[in-house]
Amino acid sequence: MWPMGPSHSEDSGRRGLSSRHFLKLIEDGGEIGFWSSDMARDHIRASVGFYRIIGLDPSVEVTFSLIREMVHPGDRAAQADLLTLLRAGHAVKREFRIIRPDRTQRWISSRAEVLLGADDRPSRAIGVVQDVTERHEARRSVEQEQDRCRALIEATAAVVWYASPDGAVLEMPQWLELTGQSQEEVQRTGWLGAVHPEDRPRTEAAWRTAVSHASPYNTDYRILCADGVHRWFNARGAPILNQDGTIREWVGVCLS
């Protein structure tokens, strides 16, 4: 069903291995499945891995129409041109959701190419599908965490900041809005210019101590806000470490 070439098959056979063994090894190791189809027909010849990914019994006849019905309703319109593109000779690479017969949802990465016949017209299509659900779920989890942090920052009116391993400012957009300082003005220790003169020496000393010892930073000081009023804030920061123990960056927050 899925030959790898005469010479290779014969050689593999002598060693007790066949192209089918190699196919199973590939499919079992990476949640991958293969398929092929005659462009003049709706029928799809699929590997065991393909059936496993889409959740169908190998005895079920697979067709493009069946796969189209399995595509998530929210993705169906975007994938409606897939067969048309293949029949026109275009390679296709897509990612979309499917709903299996058991009602579970999976993300599928699909790649297909077209083989030309003797008349140089599209004759057959071959493709590979891969279950990429874990990658999409991981990305969604990260996005959810970012949304939660963003909501928390907005709810607490917090000023979030990032600094390089040596303590130089990298990002502090809320600080710029709060103080009216420019990005250029806050570079290195320029942000101290918005700290009340009486609080500035101990604030700078606390920050330098934290950076030199790679220890958490926690201090209170008054900030001259853009409206001309000094307000008290609690500033906290911590180093984000690499696997070898070195500092990758600093992240912190100022709470009013």
**DSSP-assigned letters across all residues of 111-168:** EEEEEE-TTSSEEEEEEEEEE-HHHHHHHHHHHHHHHHHHHHHHHHT-EEEEE-TTS-
Alpha carbon distance 54, 129 (integer Å): 9
For 15-35, the pLDDT digits (tens) are 554 566 656 666 665 578 899
- Mean per-residue pLDDT over the chain, rounded: 86
For 144-192, the pLDDT digits (tens) are 876 776 666 665 557 889 999 999 999 898 899 999 999 999 998 899 9
For 193-247, the pLDDT digits (tens) are 999 999 999 999 999 999 999 999 999 999 999 999 999 999 999 999 998 889 9
Mean pLDDT value of segment 10-15: 46
Non-local (6+) Cβ contacts of 69 within 8 A are: none
Among 2-6, 78-82, 130-134, the minimum mean pLDDT is found in: 2-6
13: pLDDT strictly greater than 70 = no
As given in the structure block, the two tokens for residue 127 are 């493709």
Question: pTM of the predicted model, to two decimals?
Answer: 0.55
18 close to 109: Cβ distance less than 8 angstroms: no
- Give the model's pLDDT for residue 165: 94
- Give the model's pLDDT for residue 22: 57
